[in-house]
Amino acid sequence: MAAPDFADWLAICNLKAAYCRMLDTKDWEGWKQLFTEDCVLDTRPSGGSREEGRERICTIVSTALANAKTAHHVHSPQIDIDGDRAQVVWAMQDRVVKDDFALTGYGHYHETCVRTVEGWKIAGQVLTRLILEVESPAP
């Protein structure tokens, strides 16, 4: 298999960097634009649900994180590009702090990215967790 074009590899890395930054800064309009209109988000392997469509996904995520402080980190990308489609696995760590709990998770994002006229977008994402640490607030 030929090595992927570095420009595509870098664009996919920048897409995921923007995903984390916009998610943590709650730039919901910008975050929503990182997805295809018909994208699928599947968090069932980590205890969540399967949702379709970027509008619905953005509404669900922005509502769930409205009163939370978050930090999402991704690293060690494995990117397999085949034409205008890429399969990507990111090692991830996230921290979510709300009034009634805090969690730290470790796992992977498994993504399908597609090249569009606007650049690379996330068309599908599955979140898996290897470790999930949940803390209750102090009494």
pLDDT digits (tens, 9 = 90+) for 61-118: 999 999 999 999 999 999 999 999 999 999 999 999 999 999 999 999 999 999 999 9
DSSP bridge partners of 70: 96
Per the rule left: phi > 0, alpha: psi between -120 and 50, beta: everything else, 90 is beta
138 has a pLDDT exceeding 70: no
- pLDDT of 2 > 60? The answer is no
pLDDT band at 4 (very low <50, low <70, confident <90, very high): low
Q: Give me the residue spans of the domains in the chain.
A: 6-135
56, 99, 27, 19 alpha-carbon torsion, rounded to 10° = -80
52 DSSP β-pair partners: 40
Whether residue 5 is predicted with pLDDT greater than 70 in this model: the reply is yes
User: What are the backbone angles phi and psi of residue 83, rounded to the nearest 5°?
Assistant: 65, -120
Q: State residue 136's pLDDT score.
A: 87
Q: Give the chain's radius of gyration (CA, Å).
A: 15
**pTM of the full structure:** 0.94
pLDDT, greater one: 138 or 115 = 115
Q: Which pLDDT belongs to residue 127?
A: 97
CATH 3.10.450.50 matches 6-135:
yes
Residues sharing a CB contact under 8 Å with residue 123, sequence separation 6 or more, in sequence order: 35, 36, 38, 39, 40, 112, 113, 114
